[in-house]
Structure 1
Amino acid sequence: MADHAKPWTESMPDEQFQFIHDILAAPSPIGLEAAMTQGVLRPYMERIAPAGAAVRNFKGHAGVVLDTHPGRDDLFTVMVIGHADKIRMQVRSIGEDGKVWINSDSFLPTTLIGHEVSIFSEDPAAPGSYRRFDGGTVEALGAIHFADPKVRSGDQGVKKEQLYVELQVHGEEKKKQIEDLGIRPGDSILMNRPIRPGFSPDTFYGAYLDNGLGCFVAAESARLVAEAGGPSNIRVLFAAATYEEIGRFGSRVLVSEMRPDAVIGVDVNHDFVAAPGIGDKRMSPVTMGKGFTMSVGAIVSEQLNRRVETVARDNDIPIQRDAVGPDTGTDGMAGVLGNVDCAATSVGMPIRNMHTISESGCTRDVLACTHAVAETLKALDAEETEPGTLAERFRNQHPRLDQATPQRHPG
């Protein structure tokens, strides 16, 4: 029987799943993230914000932050960051035969072929106004009959320079037909694939789980904290950053400007157990369906991790440890990259097929991550019994391995 006090043990309610759908469906390519941040997240944040909170926009990018205590720089401040930008393809050039040549960005070229895409093009006659062109597919070979024998046998792959969007243009002056539409080099291209429930229970699949799911966790943890009365002793910044996929630049700006004392980056993670050809490399045994993940290594604060792990244990929230080596690979690095002294960690959800059109996840992992973040924030708020308590503890309670307890084999 499901434990109704533990939502991560149950199927996600339809309303919550629809919210994930709406976040992931928002066209939010790198540099053009406002559809997600301003169109979906900001209205939601304004609706669930606790009394006195404010939602902030920025000049140079489309990031958004729900600030529980605007102007209270004296409070211990925690930032929870997801990133709203999606990897995208871009138009490179237009061929005489009407082919729209594109780059592959962070996609494997072979994963793109045959999939439907949408081109988002700024109107040359009205800068700042955008149009959407649907009905195109990504191609590279045209047909197996035209492929090199090595490609047909699988001995050779498809090169990124071979990729183009097929818009079915025919007739005379094919290139001019495309140019007359106003499609130009640099226009963004996104997969046209909304998420949908998966075959297995509590699963879903589609494009761009990376990283609308992190933004969902930030927004939903904000709701949970607000419904519990909001933080009284600490300031929390629930953020959707930009530019993560090209170097985590948006989160650097956020932490540099808002100076949090602690950062919790939320991003998707890999299901290493299910990844083809990875199991024998002895990666962390992180897998879909067994809970949220917590990074260990790189710049991660063991003090912050200790609090996350304690909350997970005390609330029976399933948690998986992920060894990340020199870099978390997420916005959890923002404090260091933004040259801000803050404790940082990275949490997330294991998914399969990252950076493809068929990314797959488990709703129970998403709920586990959401509630772990919310409960960690509540615990930090309760720990700040007097102003400065948390800051003092984070400064003076770094783990001392020279004080580690010697252990012997139990025999």
Structure 2
Amino acid sequence: MPLPDVLRSLLTATGPSGYETAPARAFAEACASFADVETDVMGTVTARVKGTGDGPTVAIVGHIDEIGLIVTHIDEKGYLHFIGVGGWDPVILVGQRVELTTKDGVVPGVVGKKPIHLLKEDERKRAAELKDLHIDIGAKDGDDAKALVRIGDVAVISADPIELPNDRYVARAMDNRLGCFVAYEAARLVAEAGGAVGDVVAVAAVQEEITFAGARTVAHALRPDVALVVDVTHATDAPGIDEKENGSHPLGSGPVIERGSTMHPVVFDELVAAAEAEGLDHTLSASARFTGTDADAIHVSRQGIPTGLISLPLRYMHSPVELVQLDDVLNAAKLAAAFARRLTADTSFAR
């Protein structure tokens, strides 16, 4: 199964939190053929498919940002020092090729550290930390580096999508360009089917990896009657993951529907009913207190928004080799579209 062109365009655009312009533009361009598209001052994109009646407005929300690195210092020898944008395991960064987004375009570099041959015995016993790493762009000295890169420029790991057997794909930024693709595809399916009773709004929200800022502001402004957040979760068929703690969500098992303290029970029930009616494989997950997704911000917006969460099984989260099975993604879009089309003007989210 080929990787959809829209998903490829999202995965190959670079956009750490706060610097999401390129992937947000790709999302907006993809939605423009079937929806009314707007971009707010934060950079969040909304794509509205008008409803056929007075049914509830449904927001389907993915976050468009990814984790990255931001330059904090350029030393006299031309090495770039950095901190993480979002959560990193520093071990993953060692030896990676990176792409820095600068005012004059992309500058390639590599993440370096002291070679193992030169490490002292106590240094060999501990994992590398961010402070032990630097980015080398091949500069002769500090002035040479500063002519190419500024403090505050961001970088991502260079890792274009690759196809594996069984319709599985690997790339950086699957978290959470996948959620944005599901939002896009669900809205497209609704438009193709002639619309839903209420408006359906696909949302590419910014800054989830740092503050949920895009979700907070767009939920306040959009004021949907119900929201579906689409994000990734840990595929539990990878070594070292305990299903007793994380549930059972192997690749190929379909989208994961969340149930828990912050998830609205009517939304959960309607999602399960939609999955069963469409014959879509799915699994269930339970959470308490928070989910670690944009749902945590959206469900308490204004007077409260009935919120559901659809997750996609993903291996190796927050790495350049995030791995997903494509039919799980496509079935999540079918689920979100079916949910939106099942709602009526009489649907009540009263407790």
Match of 1:190 among 156, 177, 180: 156
Query: Given the alignment of the two structures, is residue 37 of structure 1 paired with residue 32 of structure 2, yes or no?
Result: no
The aligned residue for residue 404 of structure 1 is none
Q: Please, which moves more after superposition, 249-258 or 316-325?
A: 316-325
| Alignment partners' CA distance in 2, 1:308 and 1:371 | 11
Partners of 1:22 and 1:96 in 2: CA distance? 37
Return the letter of the residue paired with 1:394: F
**Pick from 78, 96, 104: which aligns with 1:98?**
78
Q: Which amino acid in the other structure matches residue 227 of structure 1?
A: E
- Paired residues in the alignment total 349
Distance 2:278 2:243 in 1: 33
How far off its partner does 1:20 sit? 1.1
Report what 1:166 is aligned to.
136
Q: Is the 8 A contact 1:300 1:344 kept in 2?
A: yes
Q: What amino acid sits opposite 1:45 in the alignment?
A: C
Q: Give me the whole-angstrom Cα distance separating, in 2, the residues matched to 1:340 and 1:96.
A: 53
Unaligned runs of 5+ residues in structure 2 are: none
- Residue of structure 2 equivalent to 1:5: none
Q: How far apart, CA to CA, are the structure 2 residues paired with 1:370 and 1:69? A: 18
1:288 is aligned, of 251, 258, 261, to: 251
User: 2:113 pairs with 132, 140, 151, which one?
Assistant: 140
Whether 2:347 is the aligned partner of 1:347: answer no
Structure 2 match to 1:6: none
* 1:118-161 CA distance string (max 9 Å, x none): 11123xxxxxxx52212x111222x2111232444xx3100111
The equivalent residue for 1:57 is 39
> Does the alignment pair 1:362 with 2:325?
yes
Verify the 8 A CA contact 1:85 1:244 in the aligned structure 2.
Answer: yes
What aligned pairs does 1:5-404 form with structure 2 within 5 A after superposition? 12=1, 14=2, 17-38=4-25, 40-49=26-35, 54-58=36-40, 60-69=41-50, 75-105=55-85, 106-122=87-103, 130-134=104-108, 136-141=109-114, 143-152=115-124, 155-170=125-140, 174-181=141-148, 183-198=149-164, 200-231=165-196, 233-274=197-238, 276-279=239-242, 282-380=245-343, 383-384=344-345, 389-390=346-347, 393-395=348-350, 398=351
Give the TM-score, by structure 2 length: 0.94
CA separation in 2, counterparts of 1:162 and 1:340? Answer: 46
Question: Over alpha carbons, which structure has the higher Rg?
Answer: 1
Q: In the alignment, is the contact (CA less than 8 A) between 2:172 and 2:322 conserved in 1?
A: yes
* 2:98–2:111 CA contact under 8 A, matched in 1: yes
Partners of 1:167 and 1:147 in 2: how far apart?
A: 23
Distance (whole Å) between structure 2 residues aligned to residue 280 and residue 237 of structure 1: 34
Give the counterpart letter for 2:229 in structure 1: G
Q: Distance in 2 between matches of 1:323 and 1:372?
A: 19
What is the deviation of 1:337? 4.2
Output the CA distance in 1 between the equivalents of 2:240 and 2:311: 23
User: 1:207 & 1:325 partners in 2: Cα distance?
Assistant: 29
Q: Corresponding residue for 1:8?
A: none
SS of the counterpart of 1:93? strand
State how far apart, in whole Å, the 2-side matches of 1:246 and 1:340 are.
24
Which residue identity does 1:188 align to in structure 2?
A: V
Cα distance in 1, alignment partners of residues 284 and 244 from structure 2? 17
- 8 Å contact 2:61–2:230 — kept in the other structure? yes
Runs of 5+ unmatched residues, structure 1: 1-11, 123-129, 399-411
1:76 to partner: Cα distance: 1.7
Give the partner amino acid of 2:110. Answer: T
Contact 1:298-1:328 within 8 A present in 2 as well: no
Mapped to 1, the partners of 2:50 and 2:273 lie a distance apart of 26
Cα offsets for 1:197-247 (capped at 9, x unmatched): 12x31100011101000010000111111110112x212111111011112
